[in-house]
Structure 1
Amino acid sequence: MKRKGKIFNIYLVIIFIILYAPIFYLMFYSFNSGGAMHDFEGFTLEWYKEVFHDTRLLIIVLNTVVIALLSAALSTILGVIGALAIYFVKRRRSKNTLLTLNNVLIVSPDVIIGASFLILFTIIGIKLGFISVLLSHIAFSVPIVVLMVIPKLQEMSPTLLDAARDLGASRWNVLTKVVLPFITPGIFAGFFMALTYSLDDFAVTFFVTGNGFSTLSVEIYSRARQGISLSINALSTLIFLFTIILVIGYYFINKRNNRPNGMGVRK
Protein backbone atom coordinates (compact mmCIF):
# COMPACT_ATOMS: atom_id res chain seq x y z
CA MET A 1 0.00 0.00 0.00
CA LYS A 2 2.86 2.37 0.82
CA ARG A 3 4.43 1.72 -2.57
CA LYS A 4 1.14 2.46 -4.33
CA GLY A 5 0.81 5.64 -2.29
CA LYS A 6 4.28 6.81 -3.35
CA ILE A 7 3.54 6.07 -7.02
CA PHE A 8 0.28 7.99 -6.74
CA ASN A 9 2.06 10.97 -5.16
CA ILE A 10 4.72 10.96 -7.89
CA TYR A 11 1.99 10.85 -10.51
CA LEU A 12 0.26 13.86 -8.93
CA VAL A 13 3.53 15.80 -8.81
CA ILE A 14 4.16 15.12 -12.50
CA ILE A 15 0.63 16.19 -13.44
CA PHE A 16 0.93 19.47 -11.49
CA ILE A 17 4.34 20.17 -13.05
CA ILE A 18 2.87 19.70 -16.53
CA LEU A 19 -0.06 21.99 -15.70
CA TYR A 20 1.86 24.77 -13.99
CA ALA A 21 5.21 24.73 -15.87
CA PRO A 22 3.91 26.88 -18.80
CA ILE A 23 2.41 29.39 -16.36
CA PHE A 24 5.62 29.74 -14.35
CA TYR A 25 7.61 29.93 -17.58
CA LEU A 26 5.43 32.83 -18.70
CA MET A 27 5.74 34.51 -15.29
CA PHE A 28 9.52 34.08 -15.20
CA TYR A 29 10.06 35.81 -18.54
CA SER A 30 7.74 38.67 -17.61
CA PHE A 31 10.79 39.97 -15.68
CA ASN A 32 13.22 39.54 -18.59
CA SER A 33 14.94 42.77 -19.62
CA GLY A 34 15.88 41.19 -22.95
CA GLY A 35 12.35 41.48 -24.33
CA ALA A 36 12.15 37.86 -25.52
CA MET A 37 10.91 34.50 -24.27
CA HIS A 38 14.45 33.10 -24.24
CA ASP A 39 17.92 34.09 -23.01
CA PHE A 40 17.05 35.74 -19.70
CA GLU A 41 19.31 38.82 -19.63
CA GLY A 42 18.32 40.45 -16.36
CA PHE A 43 15.56 41.33 -13.91
CA THR A 44 13.26 44.25 -14.76
CA LEU A 45 9.82 45.61 -13.97
CA GLU A 46 9.65 47.49 -17.27
CA TRP A 47 6.88 45.33 -18.69
CA TYR A 48 4.71 45.78 -15.60
CA LYS A 49 5.22 49.55 -15.79
CA GLU A 50 4.17 49.40 -19.44
CA VAL A 51 0.97 47.62 -18.44
CA PHE A 52 0.09 50.25 -15.83
CA HIS A 53 0.89 53.12 -18.20
CA ASP A 54 -1.35 51.76 -20.96
CA THR A 55 -4.56 53.76 -20.54
CA ARG A 56 -6.52 51.68 -23.03
CA LEU A 57 -5.53 48.49 -21.26
CA LEU A 58 -6.56 49.88 -17.87
CA ILE A 59 -10.00 50.74 -19.30
CA ILE A 60 -10.30 47.18 -20.61
CA VAL A 61 -9.32 45.84 -17.17
CA LEU A 62 -12.06 47.99 -15.63
CA ASN A 63 -14.56 46.72 -18.22
CA THR A 64 -13.62 43.14 -17.44
CA VAL A 65 -13.92 43.56 -13.67
CA VAL A 66 -17.27 45.37 -13.94
CA ILE A 67 -18.66 42.70 -16.27
CA ALA A 68 -17.39 39.92 -13.98
CA LEU A 69 -18.81 41.43 -10.79
CA LEU A 70 -22.18 42.33 -12.29
CA SER A 71 -22.62 39.01 -14.09
CA ALA A 72 -21.52 37.04 -11.00
CA ALA A 73 -23.92 38.95 -8.72
CA LEU A 74 -26.92 38.72 -11.05
CA SER A 75 -26.26 35.11 -12.03
CA THR A 76 -25.92 34.19 -8.34
CA ILE A 77 -29.35 35.66 -7.60
CA LEU A 78 -30.93 33.94 -10.61
CA GLY A 79 -29.05 30.70 -9.93
CA VAL A 80 -30.19 30.52 -6.31
CA ILE A 81 -33.79 31.12 -7.38
CA GLY A 82 -33.44 28.44 -10.06
CA ALA A 83 -31.87 25.95 -7.64
CA LEU A 84 -34.67 26.52 -5.13
CA ALA A 85 -37.27 26.06 -7.86
CA ILE A 86 -35.69 22.79 -8.97
CA TYR A 87 -35.30 21.55 -5.39
CA PHE A 88 -38.95 22.12 -4.50
CA VAL A 89 -40.26 20.36 -7.63
CA LYS A 90 -42.11 17.34 -6.26
CA ARG A 91 -42.05 15.04 -9.30
CA ARG A 92 -38.68 13.27 -9.52
CA ARG A 93 -38.85 12.94 -13.31
CA SER A 94 -39.45 16.68 -13.75
CA LYS A 95 -36.63 17.49 -11.32
CA ASN A 96 -34.18 15.21 -13.15
CA THR A 97 -35.21 16.72 -16.49
CA LEU A 98 -34.54 20.25 -15.22
CA LEU A 99 -31.15 19.23 -13.80
CA THR A 100 -30.23 17.57 -17.09
CA LEU A 101 -31.18 20.67 -19.07
CA ASN A 102 -29.09 22.76 -16.67
CA ASN A 103 -26.06 20.47 -17.05
CA VAL A 104 -26.35 20.47 -20.84
CA LEU A 105 -25.73 24.22 -20.81
CA ILE A 106 -22.53 23.70 -18.80
CA VAL A 107 -21.04 21.06 -21.10
CA SER A 108 -22.12 22.72 -24.36
CA PRO A 109 -19.17 24.03 -26.43
CA ASP A 110 -18.48 27.72 -25.89
CA VAL A 111 -18.30 28.26 -29.64
CA ILE A 112 -21.89 27.06 -30.04
CA ILE A 113 -23.08 29.23 -27.15
CA GLY A 114 -21.23 32.27 -28.47
CA ALA A 115 -22.55 31.85 -32.00
CA SER A 116 -26.09 31.36 -30.67
CA PHE A 117 -25.91 34.57 -28.67
CA LEU A 118 -24.49 36.44 -31.66
CA ILE A 119 -27.43 35.32 -33.81
CA LEU A 120 -29.93 36.11 -31.05
CA PHE A 121 -28.59 39.62 -30.39
CA THR A 122 -28.47 40.34 -34.11
CA ILE A 123 -32.09 39.24 -34.59
CA ILE A 124 -33.55 41.19 -31.66
CA GLY A 125 -31.43 44.25 -32.38
CA ILE A 126 -29.17 44.41 -29.31
CA LYS A 127 -25.98 46.30 -30.17
CA LEU A 128 -22.84 44.28 -29.55
CA GLY A 129 -20.91 45.75 -26.63
CA PHE A 130 -21.28 46.02 -22.87
CA ILE A 131 -24.91 44.84 -22.70
CA SER A 132 -24.42 41.85 -25.02
CA VAL A 133 -21.32 40.67 -23.13
CA LEU A 134 -23.05 41.11 -19.76
CA LEU A 135 -26.17 39.19 -20.83
CA SER A 136 -24.14 36.33 -22.30
CA HIS A 137 -21.96 36.06 -19.18
CA ILE A 138 -25.04 35.95 -16.97
CA ALA A 139 -26.55 33.26 -19.17
CA PHE A 140 -23.61 30.85 -19.03
CA SER A 141 -22.97 31.55 -15.32
CA VAL A 142 -26.47 30.76 -14.03
CA PRO A 143 -26.17 26.97 -14.62
CA ILE A 144 -22.84 26.99 -12.74
CA VAL A 145 -24.45 28.65 -9.72
CA VAL A 146 -27.32 26.15 -9.82
CA LEU A 147 -24.81 23.30 -9.85
CA MET A 148 -23.05 24.76 -6.78
CA VAL A 149 -26.23 25.39 -4.77
CA ILE A 150 -28.20 22.21 -5.50
CA PRO A 151 -25.88 19.89 -3.46
CA LYS A 152 -26.23 22.12 -0.39
CA LEU A 153 -30.02 22.02 -0.73
CA GLN A 154 -29.89 18.23 -1.00
CA GLU A 155 -27.84 18.08 2.21
CA MET A 156 -30.59 19.96 4.07
CA SER A 157 -32.95 17.69 5.97
CA PRO A 158 -36.66 18.18 5.14
CA THR A 159 -37.40 17.85 8.86
CA LEU A 160 -35.57 21.14 9.38
CA LEU A 161 -38.15 22.92 7.24
CA ASP A 162 -41.02 21.04 8.91
CA ALA A 163 -39.74 22.07 12.34
CA ALA A 164 -39.59 25.72 11.30
CA ARG A 165 -43.15 25.59 9.98
CA ASP A 166 -44.38 23.86 13.14
CA LEU A 167 -42.89 26.69 15.17
CA GLY A 168 -45.00 29.18 13.23
CA ALA A 169 -42.44 30.44 10.71
CA SER A 170 -43.88 31.88 7.51
CA ARG A 171 -42.63 30.83 4.09
CA TRP A 172 -40.49 33.97 3.90
CA ASN A 173 -38.97 33.29 7.35
CA VAL A 174 -38.26 29.68 6.40
CA LEU A 175 -36.48 30.89 3.28
CA THR A 176 -34.48 33.74 4.82
CA LYS A 177 -33.72 32.30 8.27
CA VAL A 178 -33.39 28.58 7.55
CA VAL A 179 -32.75 27.78 3.89
CA LEU A 180 -30.50 30.65 2.82
CA PRO A 181 -28.18 30.48 5.87
CA PHE A 182 -27.81 26.73 5.36
CA ILE A 183 -26.85 27.03 1.68
CA THR A 184 -24.58 30.09 2.14
CA PRO A 185 -21.38 28.11 1.36
CA GLY A 186 -22.94 26.97 -1.92
CA ILE A 187 -23.97 30.54 -2.74
CA PHE A 188 -20.43 31.79 -2.17
CA ALA A 189 -19.06 28.91 -4.24
CA GLY A 190 -21.43 29.76 -7.08
CA PHE A 191 -20.53 33.46 -6.93
CA PHE A 192 -16.78 32.85 -7.07
CA MET A 193 -17.13 30.24 -9.81
CA ALA A 194 -19.25 32.64 -11.87
CA LEU A 195 -16.72 35.41 -11.23
CA THR A 196 -13.74 33.34 -12.39
CA TYR A 197 -15.61 31.98 -15.41
CA SER A 198 -16.49 35.53 -16.46
CA LEU A 199 -12.93 36.77 -15.99
CA ASP A 200 -11.47 33.87 -17.99
CA ASP A 201 -14.05 33.54 -20.75
CA PHE A 202 -12.82 34.11 -24.28
CA ALA A 203 -14.85 32.08 -26.78
CA VAL A 204 -18.30 33.45 -25.92
CA THR A 205 -17.02 37.00 -25.39
CA PHE A 206 -15.19 36.93 -28.72
CA PHE A 207 -18.52 36.42 -30.52
CA VAL A 208 -20.59 39.00 -28.66
CA THR A 209 -18.14 41.87 -28.17
CA GLY A 210 -18.34 44.85 -30.52
CA ASN A 211 -16.22 47.72 -31.76
CA GLY A 212 -15.07 50.01 -28.96
CA PHE A 213 -15.59 47.43 -26.21
CA SER A 214 -13.29 44.58 -25.23
CA THR A 215 -12.35 42.36 -22.30
CA LEU A 216 -8.95 41.16 -21.15
CA SER A 217 -9.17 37.72 -22.73
CA VAL A 218 -10.04 39.16 -26.15
CA GLU A 219 -7.39 41.90 -25.80
CA ILE A 220 -4.65 39.42 -24.87
CA TYR A 221 -5.59 37.28 -27.88
CA SER A 222 -5.48 40.30 -30.18
CA ARG A 223 -2.08 41.41 -28.89
CA ALA A 224 -0.62 37.90 -29.00
CA ARG A 225 -1.49 37.67 -32.71
CA GLN A 226 0.60 40.78 -33.38
CA GLY A 227 3.77 39.19 -32.02
CA ILE A 228 5.54 38.38 -28.78
CA SER A 229 5.44 41.17 -26.21
CA LEU A 230 6.43 40.62 -22.60
CA SER A 231 3.76 43.08 -21.55
CA ILE A 232 1.36 40.21 -22.31
CA ASN A 233 3.37 38.06 -19.92
CA ALA A 234 3.16 40.76 -17.25
CA LEU A 235 -0.58 41.17 -17.75
CA SER A 236 -1.17 37.42 -17.67
CA THR A 237 0.89 37.15 -14.47
CA LEU A 238 -1.23 39.81 -12.78
CA ILE A 239 -4.44 38.02 -13.83
CA PHE A 240 -3.10 34.71 -12.53
CA LEU A 241 -2.16 36.24 -9.16
CA PHE A 242 -5.58 37.91 -8.93
CA THR A 243 -7.25 34.54 -9.56
CA ILE A 244 -5.10 32.93 -6.86
CA ILE A 245 -6.22 35.63 -4.41
CA LEU A 246 -9.87 34.90 -5.27
CA VAL A 247 -9.36 31.18 -4.70
CA ILE A 248 -7.62 31.75 -1.36
CA GLY A 249 -10.36 34.18 -0.32
CA TYR A 250 -13.07 31.65 -1.18
CA TYR A 251 -11.17 28.94 0.74
CA PHE A 252 -11.07 30.95 3.96
CA ILE A 253 -14.69 32.09 3.62
CA ASN A 254 -15.83 28.50 3.05
CA LYS A 255 -13.67 27.28 5.95
CA ARG A 256 -15.17 29.88 8.28
CA ASN A 257 -18.74 29.04 7.21
CA ASN A 258 -18.17 25.32 7.76
CA ARG A 259 -16.49 25.71 11.16
CA PRO A 260 -18.64 24.07 13.89
CA ASN A 261 -19.13 25.66 17.28
CA GLY A 262 -18.66 23.93 20.59
CA MET A 263 -22.08 22.22 20.40
CA GLY A 264 -21.36 20.73 16.99
CA VAL A 265 -23.89 23.02 15.26
CA ARG A 266 -23.13 25.33 12.37
CA LYS A 267 -22.71 28.95 13.31
Structure 2
Amino acid sequence: MRRMKWGNVYLIFVFIILYTPIFYLLFYSFNSGGAMYDFQGFTLEWYQEVFQDTRLLMIVLNTLIVALLSALISTVLGVVGALAIYYVKKRQVKNALLTLNNVLIVSPDVIIGASFLILFTIAGIKLGFVSVLLSHIAFSVPIVVLMVLPKLQEMSPTWVDAARDLGANEWHILTKVILPFITPGIFAGFFMALTYSLDDFAVTFFVTGNGFSTLSVEIYSRARQGISLSINALSTLLFLFTVLLVIGYYFMSRKSSRLYGMWGRK
Protein backbone atom coordinates (compact mmCIF):
# COMPACT_ATOMS: atom_id res chain seq x y z
CA MET A 1 0.00 0.00 0.00
CA ARG A 2 2.82 2.40 0.86
CA ARG A 3 4.54 1.69 -2.43
CA MET A 4 1.31 2.35 -4.29
CA LYS A 5 0.75 5.62 -2.42
CA TRP A 6 4.29 6.83 -3.06
CA GLY A 7 3.93 5.77 -6.68
CA ASN A 8 0.74 7.83 -7.03
CA VAL A 9 2.40 10.84 -5.37
CA TYR A 10 5.34 10.55 -7.77
CA LEU A 11 3.04 10.36 -10.81
CA ILE A 12 1.05 13.38 -9.63
CA PHE A 13 4.29 15.30 -9.10
CA VAL A 14 5.51 14.42 -12.62
CA PHE A 15 2.20 15.44 -14.21
CA ILE A 16 2.26 18.74 -12.32
CA ILE A 17 5.74 19.50 -13.64
CA LEU A 18 4.74 18.58 -17.19
CA TYR A 19 1.38 20.33 -17.35
CA THR A 20 1.96 23.48 -15.27
CA PRO A 21 3.83 25.33 -18.06
CA ILE A 22 1.14 24.33 -20.56
CA PHE A 23 -1.70 25.61 -18.38
CA TYR A 24 0.31 28.75 -17.59
CA LEU A 25 0.63 29.40 -21.33
CA LEU A 26 -3.07 28.63 -21.87
CA PHE A 27 -4.17 30.91 -19.01
CA TYR A 28 -2.28 33.95 -20.29
CA SER A 29 -3.55 33.45 -23.83
CA PHE A 30 -6.71 35.15 -22.53
CA ASN A 31 -4.89 38.06 -20.88
CA SER A 32 -6.00 41.46 -22.14
CA GLY A 33 -2.83 42.97 -20.68
CA GLY A 34 -0.69 41.59 -23.51
CA ALA A 35 1.99 40.09 -21.25
CA MET A 36 2.81 36.79 -19.54
CA TYR A 37 2.25 38.37 -16.11
CA ASP A 38 -0.27 40.63 -14.36
CA PHE A 39 -3.52 39.14 -15.69
CA GLN A 40 -5.74 42.19 -16.30
CA GLY A 41 -8.85 40.68 -17.80
CA PHE A 42 -10.36 38.07 -20.11
CA THR A 43 -10.15 38.59 -23.87
CA LEU A 44 -10.28 36.62 -27.12
CA GLU A 45 -8.25 39.25 -28.96
CA TRP A 46 -5.23 37.00 -29.43
CA TYR A 47 -7.31 34.17 -30.86
CA GLN A 48 -8.98 36.62 -33.26
CA GLU A 49 -5.53 37.76 -34.32
CA VAL A 50 -4.56 34.17 -35.07
CA PHE A 51 -7.64 33.53 -37.23
CA GLN A 52 -7.24 36.84 -39.08
CA ASP A 53 -3.66 36.01 -40.08
CA THR A 54 -3.94 34.59 -43.62
CA ARG A 55 -0.32 33.49 -43.75
CA LEU A 56 -0.70 31.61 -40.48
CA LEU A 57 -3.84 29.85 -41.70
CA MET A 58 -1.91 28.67 -44.77
CA ILE A 59 0.82 27.33 -42.48
CA VAL A 60 -1.83 25.49 -40.45
CA LEU A 61 -3.15 23.95 -43.67
CA ASN A 62 0.39 22.95 -44.69
CA THR A 63 0.95 21.34 -41.29
CA LEU A 64 -2.29 19.35 -41.43
CA ILE A 65 -1.67 18.15 -45.00
CA VAL A 66 1.87 17.01 -44.17
CA ALA A 67 0.72 15.33 -40.95
CA LEU A 68 -2.18 13.46 -42.56
CA LEU A 69 -0.25 12.36 -45.64
CA SER A 70 2.82 11.27 -43.68
CA ALA A 71 0.63 9.43 -41.15
CA LEU A 72 -1.31 7.58 -43.87
CA ILE A 73 1.76 6.62 -45.91
CA SER A 74 3.85 5.69 -42.87
CA THR A 75 0.99 3.58 -41.51
CA VAL A 76 0.83 1.55 -44.73
CA LEU A 77 4.62 1.18 -44.85
CA GLY A 78 4.79 0.43 -41.13
CA VAL A 79 2.19 -2.35 -41.35
CA VAL A 80 4.07 -3.90 -44.28
CA GLY A 81 7.35 -3.59 -42.36
CA ALA A 82 5.87 -5.13 -39.22
CA LEU A 83 4.51 -8.07 -41.23
CA ALA A 84 7.89 -8.53 -42.91
CA ILE A 85 9.72 -8.56 -39.56
CA TYR A 86 7.12 -10.86 -38.00
CA TYR A 87 7.46 -13.51 -40.73
CA VAL A 88 11.26 -13.53 -40.77
CA LYS A 89 12.26 -16.99 -39.52
CA LYS A 90 15.90 -16.41 -38.58
CA ARG A 91 16.14 -14.83 -35.14
CA GLN A 92 19.38 -12.97 -35.90
CA VAL A 93 17.93 -11.37 -39.02
CA LYS A 94 14.77 -10.39 -37.12
CA ASN A 95 16.79 -8.78 -34.31
CA ALA A 96 18.92 -6.94 -36.88
CA LEU A 97 15.81 -5.55 -38.60
CA LEU A 98 14.33 -4.47 -35.26
CA THR A 99 17.58 -2.73 -34.37
CA LEU A 100 17.65 -0.87 -37.68
CA ASN A 101 14.00 0.06 -37.19
CA ASN A 102 14.75 1.59 -33.79
CA VAL A 103 17.68 3.70 -34.99
CA LEU A 104 15.50 6.64 -36.06
CA ILE A 105 13.63 6.54 -32.74
CA VAL A 106 16.65 6.57 -30.42
CA SER A 107 18.80 8.89 -32.55
CA PRO A 108 18.79 12.61 -31.63
CA ASP A 109 16.46 14.69 -33.78
CA VAL A 110 19.27 17.11 -34.62
CA ILE A 111 21.33 14.28 -36.14
CA ILE A 112 18.34 12.98 -38.08
CA GLY A 113 17.49 16.45 -39.38
CA ALA A 114 21.06 17.17 -40.44
CA SER A 115 21.28 13.76 -42.15
CA PHE A 116 18.12 14.40 -44.13
CA LEU A 117 19.36 17.87 -45.08
CA ILE A 118 22.61 16.41 -46.48
CA LEU A 119 20.71 13.63 -48.26
CA PHE A 120 18.22 15.99 -49.92
CA THR A 121 21.02 18.38 -50.91
CA ILE A 122 23.02 15.57 -52.54
CA ALA A 123 19.90 14.14 -54.24
CA GLY A 124 18.95 17.57 -55.57
CA ILE A 125 15.58 17.61 -53.83
CA LYS A 126 14.37 21.16 -53.25
CA LEU A 127 13.69 21.92 -49.61
CA GLY A 128 9.99 22.45 -49.02
CA PHE A 129 6.83 20.36 -48.99
CA VAL A 130 8.40 17.22 -50.50
CA SER A 131 11.45 17.21 -48.22
CA VAL A 132 9.34 17.75 -45.09
CA LEU A 133 6.87 15.04 -46.12
CA LEU A 134 9.61 12.49 -46.86
CA SER A 135 11.41 13.16 -43.58
CA HIS A 136 8.18 12.88 -41.58
CA ILE A 137 7.38 9.57 -43.28
CA ALA A 138 10.88 8.32 -42.51
CA PHE A 139 10.74 8.95 -38.76
CA SER A 140 7.09 7.87 -38.48
CA VAL A 141 7.45 4.41 -40.05
CA PRO A 142 9.48 2.95 -37.12
CA ILE A 143 6.84 4.24 -34.70
CA VAL A 144 4.08 2.44 -36.61
CA VAL A 145 6.16 -0.75 -36.71
CA LEU A 146 6.57 -0.65 -32.92
CA MET A 147 2.80 -0.17 -32.49
CA VAL A 148 1.77 -2.97 -34.87
CA LEU A 149 4.42 -5.63 -34.15
CA PRO A 150 3.25 -6.41 -30.55
CA LYS A 151 -0.28 -7.04 -31.84
CA LEU A 152 1.10 -9.48 -34.41
CA GLN A 153 3.03 -11.28 -31.68
CA GLU A 154 -0.18 -11.59 -29.62
CA MET A 155 -1.97 -13.33 -32.49
CA SER A 156 -2.12 -17.11 -32.25
CA PRO A 157 -0.53 -18.88 -35.28
CA THR A 158 -3.32 -21.48 -35.09
CA TRP A 159 -5.77 -18.89 -36.44
CA VAL A 160 -3.79 -18.62 -39.66
CA ASP A 161 -3.45 -22.41 -39.87
CA ALA A 162 -7.18 -22.82 -39.34
CA ALA A 163 -7.91 -20.29 -42.09
CA ARG A 164 -5.64 -22.19 -44.50
CA ASP A 165 -7.33 -25.48 -43.58
CA LEU A 166 -10.68 -23.89 -44.46
CA GLY A 167 -9.39 -22.99 -47.93
CA ALA A 168 -8.49 -19.33 -47.45
CA ASN A 169 -5.77 -17.94 -49.69
CA GLU A 170 -3.05 -15.53 -48.51
CA TRP A 171 -5.09 -12.43 -49.37
CA HIS A 172 -8.11 -13.66 -47.39
CA ILE A 173 -5.87 -14.55 -44.45
CA LEU A 174 -4.41 -11.05 -44.49
CA THR A 175 -7.71 -9.18 -44.84
CA LYS A 176 -10.00 -11.45 -42.81
CA VAL A 177 -7.73 -12.67 -40.02
CA ILE A 178 -4.54 -10.65 -39.57
CA LEU A 179 -5.66 -7.06 -40.29
CA PRO A 180 -8.80 -7.24 -38.12
CA PHE A 181 -6.71 -8.51 -35.21
CA ILE A 182 -4.02 -5.81 -35.49
CA THR A 183 -6.49 -2.96 -36.13
CA PRO A 184 -5.94 -1.42 -32.64
CA GLY A 185 -2.20 -1.37 -33.33
CA ILE A 186 -2.78 0.22 -36.73
CA PHE A 187 -4.92 2.97 -35.16
CA ALA A 188 -2.29 3.51 -32.48
CA GLY A 189 0.46 3.78 -35.09
CA PHE A 190 -1.55 6.20 -37.23
CA PHE A 191 -2.37 8.55 -34.37
CA MET A 192 1.17 8.40 -32.98
CA ALA A 193 2.56 9.24 -36.44
CA LEU A 194 0.03 12.06 -36.77
CA THR A 195 0.90 13.64 -33.42
CA TYR A 196 4.66 13.24 -33.97
CA SER A 197 4.33 14.99 -37.33
CA LEU A 198 2.26 17.82 -35.87
CA ASP A 199 4.66 18.40 -32.98
CA ASP A 200 7.99 17.85 -34.72
CA PHE A 201 10.31 20.84 -34.79
CA ALA A 202 13.96 19.76 -34.92
CA VAL A 203 13.80 17.61 -38.08
CA THR A 204 11.38 19.99 -39.83
CA PHE A 205 13.59 22.98 -39.04
CA PHE A 206 16.45 21.41 -41.02
CA VAL A 207 14.48 20.27 -44.09
CA THR A 208 12.01 23.13 -44.59
CA GLY A 209 12.74 25.79 -47.20
CA ASN A 210 11.75 29.29 -48.21
CA GLY A 211 8.04 29.65 -48.86
CA PHE A 212 7.05 26.59 -46.82
CA SER A 213 6.73 26.27 -43.06
CA THR A 214 4.90 24.29 -40.39
CA LEU A 215 3.33 25.39 -37.13
CA SER A 216 6.20 24.31 -34.91
CA VAL A 217 8.77 26.22 -36.99
CA GLU A 218 6.47 29.25 -37.24
CA ILE A 219 5.91 29.35 -33.47
CA TYR A 220 9.68 29.20 -32.92
CA SER A 221 10.28 32.01 -35.44
CA ARG A 222 7.65 34.26 -33.86
CA ALA A 223 8.87 33.55 -30.34
CA ARG A 224 12.36 34.75 -31.33
CA GLN A 225 10.91 38.08 -32.52
CA GLY A 226 9.46 38.87 -29.10
CA ILE A 227 6.73 37.91 -26.67
CA SER A 228 3.26 38.01 -28.21
CA LEU A 229 0.22 36.37 -26.72
CA SER A 230 -0.84 35.30 -30.20
CA ILE A 231 1.89 32.67 -29.79
CA ASN A 232 0.13 31.52 -26.63
CA ALA A 233 -3.18 31.35 -28.48
CA LEU A 234 -1.64 29.42 -31.36
CA SER A 235 0.14 27.00 -29.03
CA THR A 236 -3.06 26.48 -27.04
CA LEU A 237 -5.01 25.61 -30.18
CA LEU A 238 -2.31 23.14 -31.22
CA PHE A 239 -2.33 21.55 -27.76
CA LEU A 240 -6.13 21.23 -27.73
CA PHE A 241 -6.07 19.68 -31.22
CA THR A 242 -3.55 17.10 -30.02
CA VAL A 243 -5.74 16.33 -27.01
CA LEU A 244 -8.71 15.79 -29.33
CA LEU A 245 -6.62 13.38 -31.39
CA VAL A 246 -5.76 11.38 -28.27
CA ILE A 247 -9.41 11.27 -27.20
CA GLY A 248 -10.46 10.24 -30.72
CA TYR A 249 -7.87 7.46 -30.74
CA TYR A 250 -9.10 6.24 -27.34
CA PHE A 251 -12.72 5.89 -28.47
CA MET A 252 -11.81 4.43 -31.87
CA SER A 253 -9.51 1.84 -30.30
CA ARG A 254 -12.22 0.86 -27.81
CA LYS A 255 -14.76 0.52 -30.61
CA SER A 256 -12.40 -1.57 -32.75
CA SER A 257 -11.60 -3.81 -29.76
CA ARG A 258 -15.32 -4.40 -29.11
CA LEU A 259 -15.99 -5.13 -32.77
CA TYR A 260 -13.07 -7.55 -32.91
CA GLY A 261 -14.25 -9.24 -29.70
CA MET A 262 -17.71 -9.77 -31.22
CA TRP A 263 -16.12 -11.06 -34.45
CA GLY A 264 -13.87 -13.42 -32.47
CA ARG A 265 -16.78 -14.87 -30.51
CA LYS A 266 -18.59 -15.58 -33.75
In 1, distance between residues paired with 2:207 and 2:198?
Answer: 15
1:93-172 matches, within 5 Å, as 93-172=92-171
RMSD: 1.4
C-alpha deviation, 1:117, in angstroms? 0.7
Which residue does 1:52 correspond to in 2?
51
Partner deviation per Cα, 1:87-123 (whole Å, 9 max, x = no partner)? 1111111111101111122111111111111111111
Alpha-carbon shift at residue 10 of structure 1 (Å) = 1.8
> What CA distance in whole angstroms lies between the structure 2 residues aligned with 1:5 and 1:219?
43
Deviations 1:177-208 (A, max 9, x none): 11111100000000000000000000000000
* Matched positions, count: 266
Cα deviation, residue 65, structure 1: 0.1
Preserved contact between residue 180 and residue 260 of structure 2 (Cα < 8 Å) = no
Deviation, 1:7, is 2.4
- Scaled by the length of structure 2, the TM-score of the pair is 0.97
Cα-to-partner distance string for 1:13-52 (whole Å, 9 max, x where unaligned) = 1111111000000000000000000000000000000000
> Judging changes above 3 Å, is the alpha-carbon distance between structure 1 residues 66 and 263 closer, same or farther for their aligned structure 2 residues?
closer
Tell me the TM-score normalised to structure 1 length: 0.97
Structure 1's 73 and 160: CA in aligned 2 closer, same or farther, altered over 3 A? same
Q: Report SS of the residue matched to 2:209.
A: coil
* Runs of 4+, deviation exceeding 3 Å: 260-267
Mapping of residues 235-246 of structure 1, within 5 Å: 235-246=234-245
Q: Within 1, Cα distance between the matches of 2:142 and 2:59?
A: 26
Deviation of 1:261 (Å): 8.1
Tell me, in whole angstroms, the C-alpha distance in 2 between the residues paired with 1:212 and 1:79: 30
1:91 counterpart residue number: 90
Q: Quote the sequence identity (%).
A: 81
- Judging changes above 3 Å, is the alpha-carbon distance between structure 1 residues 18 and 176 closer, same or farther for their aligned structure 2 residues? same
Q: Is the 8 A contact 1:60 1:216 kept in 2?
A: yes
CA distance, structure 2, for counterparts of residue 125 and residue 257 of structure 1: 43
Residue 266 (structure 1) shift: 6.0
* SS of the residue 2:264 aligns to: coil
**Measured at CA, do residues 18 and 174 of structure 1 come closer, stay the same or move farther in structure 2, by a change above 3 Å?**
same
Task: Give the conservation status (yes or no) of the 8 Å contact 2:184–2:256.
Answer: yes
Q: Distance in 1 between matches of 2:263 and 2:73?
A: 34
Q: Separation in 2 of the partners of 1:84 and 1:208?
A: 30
Q: Following the alignment from structure 1 to structure 2, what is the Cα–Cα distance between the partners of residues 204 and 165?
A: 45
8 A Cα contact 2:201 2:216, kept in partner: yes
User: 1:261–1:89: structure 2 CA closer, same or farther, 3 Å change rule?
Assistant: closer
2 CA distance for matches of 1:73 and 1:224?
Answer: 31
- Counterpart Cα distance in 1 of 2:81 and 2:60: 31
Q: What's the counterpart of residue 231 of structure 2?
A: 232
